């Protein structure tokens, strides 16, 4: 078992009554595989279908039914493993995990216990301060999802829908390497991003295609690991962060008051922002794992793995490094842009042959603001990357000023017209001819003797006010740099 090699980072420590505590977090993420059909049956997977309409006899565990594995789900698991720089196990085994629950029709889940398809890997956390930290991934295995139990439709009954039963899941287990709620959130964010880049999971936490079980324990720095509690099925990154914060506090308070942390499974109550113990009986689960006799061991061909490796897309970390190197972006900016492949592609299209930093600023500032406000994704952006690029060109060659560009951008969003057309139609070309600027400057100086006197009296900062006045007089179209120069010259006379 790995422990963090660096000494506990003081900024992550939590202060309790008896001193500082370190929180240790591991995440087990269940990611629904993007595929057309289920892991061991040919039924469809789609969110929101009529109850029990995407259920085959195999999924319903009818007598005599047998599993047949979906080769594409195997491919997606290998692809994910490669994306996590993990070891691919050429031979893996499916085991039955036996327990009783109404949404588990077989009375067992087909999973992988001792010999999973993917072994050790790693993932880089992008932390808020701009630093990165690499954490370990223990393993990834394939398993069946269960159906859905709906408890709130009737006071006496639980309703069971088996549509989800048998859907392929990748269970991705991290090493217990995270040391703060932020790190846990960063892990989930990066993992989700990688899965979306690979196309192996859509990462829609609100639809349940990505769920996290969060393992939390606390200890005094340098002490052995404490007893951990598992918070099951947390379905948003924000909730993961809240759950970690609450649970760490809970455990610290419990220990400081003389109690001991009981190993238990808990649920996160999003309404209250608290975790609570599940009400199942306190027996430890005995899953009686054994190799599924209806299946043979899964053997992968080297070609199969090589082909997948050869067609891996450029992943967020590599793309981020390339953006920093080729476009001179900061780690932070590059990180924001590569979080989603669509925004990274947008950036590259807009920045091609142009100033990357400028493109990045416009995208992360004005464009994202518009998209967030209208709740639209970058794929549906009213301003295309090419269009944005066109506007950047006008900025670069001085046709418009930065101030005017803001207005042009707004007009582009509203009308969908290219920047050049808008500038023409509205006559927004930047005034660089000194003639009109000189004239405007003269007028401002003439009209404001008091300010002139103050400026000449030593208040050099007032130049800003003068520039503002000239800009106003020219309808914002004057080149501010030129205005500044001319004013300075005139005021110095």
Partner 1 sequence: MSLDKATVARIARLARIKVPAGEEDALAADLSRILAFVEQLNELDCTDVPPMTSSEAMKLRRRADEVTDGGIPEKVLANAPEARDGYFTVPKVVE
Partner 2 sequence: MSALTDLTLAEARDGLKAKKFSAAELTDAHVKAVEAARPLNAYITETPELAKKLAAESDARIASGDARALEGVPLAIKDLFCTENVRTTAASKILGNFIPQYESTVSGKLLAAGAVSVGKTNLDEFAMGSSNATSAFGAVANPWKRKGDNRPLVPGGSSGGSAAAVAARTCLGATGTDTGGSIRQPAAFCGIVGIKPTYGRCSRWGIVAFASSLDQAGPFARTVRDTAILLREMAGFDAKDSTSVEKAVPDFEKALTGDVRGLRIGIPKEYRMDGMSREIEDLWAKGIAWLKDAGATPVDISLPHTKYALPAYYIIAPAEASSNLARYDGIRYGLRVPGESIDDLYENTRGAGFGAEVRRRVMIGTYVLSAGYYDAYYLKAQKVRSLIARDFEEAYKKVDAILTPTAPSAAFALGEKSDDPITMYLNDVFTVSVNLAGLPGISVPAGLSSDGLPLGLQVIGRPFDEETVFRVAGVVESQAKFTAKPDGAA
> What residues make contact with partner 2 under the rule CB under 8 A?
57, 60-69, 96, 98, 100, 102, 105-108, 158, 160, 286, 288-290, 293-296
**Residue 491 touching partner 1 (CB under 8 A):** no
Question: Pick from 84, 81, 34, 133: which is nearest to 316 by CA?
Answer: 84
- CB nearer to partner 2: give 126 or 143: 143
Beta bridge partners of residue 211, listed in sequence order: 30
Fill in the per-residue mask, 102 to 121: x = in contact with partner 1 (CB under 8 A), - = not in contact.
Answer: x-------------------
298-299 vs 95-98, strand pairing mode: unpaired
**Residue 52 touching partner 1 (CB under 8 A):** yes
Phi, psi angle pair for 185, to nearest 5°: -65, -40
Question: Pick from 176, 196, 211, 197: which is nearest to 29 by CA?
Answer: 211
19-32 vs 14-16, strand pairing mode: antiparallel
Q: Which does 376 bind (CB under 5 to 8 A by kind): partner 2, partner 1, none?
A: none
**Residue 53 touching partner 1 (CB under 8 A):** yes
User: How many positions of this chain bind partner 1 (CB under 8 A)?
Assistant: 56
Within positions 143 to 182, which residues make up the interface with partner 1, using CB under 8 A?
149-151, 153-162
Is 34:200 a contact under the CB 8 Å cutoff? yes
Query: From the centroid of its chain, how far is CA 418?
Result: 31
Q: Which does 96 bind (CB under 5 to 8 A by kind): partner 1, partner 2, none?
A: partner 2
The region of 38-46, 306-314, 353-361, 374-382 touching partner 1 under the rule CB under 8 A is 38-46
Q: Which does 289 bind (CB under 5 to 8 A by kind): partner 2, partner 1, none?
A: partner 2
CA gap 87, 300 in Å, rounded: 13
CA gap 223, 232 in Å, rounded: 26
Q: Which does 66 bind (CB under 5 to 8 A by kind): partner 1, partner 2, none?
A: partner 2
- CB nearer to partner 1: give 55 or 400: 55
- CB nearer to partner 2: give 90 or 296: 296
- CB nearer to partner 1: give 154 or 206: 154
- Binding residue (CB under 8 A) for partner 1 from 1, 10, 17, 100: 100
CA gap 95, 172 in Å, rounded: 17
**Which parts of 235-384 are beta strand (E)?**
265-269, 274-277, 290-291, 298-299
Q: Which does 299 bind (CB under 5 to 8 A by kind): partner 1, partner 2, none?
A: partner 1
Q: Which residues of 364-398 are buried (b: 16+ CB within 10 A; e: fewer)?
A: bebbeebbeeeeeebeebebebebbbbbbebbeee
229-234 vs 265-269, strand pairing mode: parallel
**Residue 272 touching partner 1 (CB under 8 A):** no
Is 194:81 a contact under the CB 8 Å cutoff? no
Q: Which does 277 bind (CB under 5 to 8 A by kind): partner 2, partner 1, none?
A: none
**Residue 283 touching partner 1 (CB under 8 A):** yes
Q: Which does 53 bind (CB under 5 to 8 A by kind): partner 2, partner 1, none?
A: partner 1
Question: Pick from 95, 89, 125: which is nearest to 113 by CA?
Answer: 95
Fill in the per-residue mask, 286 to 315: x = in contact with partner 1 (CB under 8 A), - = not in contact.
Answer: x-x--x-x-xxxxx----------------
Query: Would you tell me which residues interact with partner 1 (CB under 8 A)?
Result: 35-37, 41-44, 50-60, 68-74, 93, 100-102, 149-151, 153-162, 267, 278-280, 283, 286, 288, 291, 293, 295-299
């Amino acid at each position: 078992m790995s422990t963090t090699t660096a000494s506990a980072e003081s900024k992550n420590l939590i202060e309790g009554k008896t001193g500082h505590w370190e929180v240790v977090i591991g995440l087990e993420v269940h990611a629904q595989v993007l595929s057309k059909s289920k892991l061991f049956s040919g039924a469809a997977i789609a969110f929101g279908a009529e109850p029990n309409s995407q259920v085959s006899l195999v999924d319903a565990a009818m007598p005599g039914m047998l599993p047949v594995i979906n080769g594409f789900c195997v491919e997606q698991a290998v692809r994910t493993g490669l994306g996590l720089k993990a070891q691919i196990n050429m031979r893996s085994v499916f085991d039955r995990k036996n327990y009783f629950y109404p949404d588990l029709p077989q009375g067992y889940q087909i999973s992988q216990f001792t010999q999973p398809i993917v072994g050790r890997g790693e993932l880089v956390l992008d932390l808020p301060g701009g630093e990165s930290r690499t954490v370990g991934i223990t393993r990834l295995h394939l398993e069946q999802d269960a159906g859905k139990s709906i408890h709130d439709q009737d006071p006496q009954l639980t309703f069971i829908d088996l549509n989800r039963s048998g859907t392929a899941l990748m269970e991705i287990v991290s090493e217990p390497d995270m040391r703060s709620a932020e790190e846990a959130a960063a892990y989930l964010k990066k993992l989700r991003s990688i899965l979306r880049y690979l196309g192996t999971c859509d990462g829609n936490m609100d639809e349940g295609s990505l769920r996290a079980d969060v393992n939390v324990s606390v200890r005094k720095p340098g002490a052995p690991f404490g007893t951990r509690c598992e918070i099951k099925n947390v379905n948003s990154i924000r909730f993961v962060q809240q759950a970690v914060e609450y649970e760490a506090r809970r455990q610290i308070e419990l220990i400081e008051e003389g109690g001991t942390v009981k190993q238990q499974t808990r649920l996160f109550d999003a309404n209250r922002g608290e975790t609570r113990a599940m009400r199942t009986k306190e027996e430890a689960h005995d899953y009686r794992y054994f190799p599924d006799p209806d299946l043979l061991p899964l053997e992968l061909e080297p070609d199969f793995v090589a082909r997948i490796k050869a067609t891996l897309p450029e992943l967020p970390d590599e793309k981020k490094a390339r953006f920093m190197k080729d476009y001179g972006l900061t780690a932070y900016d590059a990180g924001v842009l590569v979080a989603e492949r669509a925004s990274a592609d947008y950036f590259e299209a807009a920045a091609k042959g142009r100033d990357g930093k400028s493109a990045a600023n416009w995208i992360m500032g004005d464009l994202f603001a518009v998209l967030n406000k209208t709740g639209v994704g970058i794929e549906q952006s009213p301003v295309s990357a090419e269009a944005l690029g066109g506007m950047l060109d006008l900025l670069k060659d001085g046709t418009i000023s930065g101030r005017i560009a803001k207005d042009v951008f707004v007009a582009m969003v509203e009308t969908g017209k290219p920047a050049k057309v808008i500038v023409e139609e509205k006559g927004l070309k930047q005034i660089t001819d000194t003639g009109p600027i000189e004239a405007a400057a003269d007028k401002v100086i003439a009209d404001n003797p008091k300010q002139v006197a103050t400026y000449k009296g030593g208040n050099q900062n007032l130049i800003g006010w003068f520039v503002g006045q000239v800009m106003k007089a020219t309808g914002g179209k004057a080149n501010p740099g030129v205005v500044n120069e001319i004013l300075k010259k005139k005021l110095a006379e």
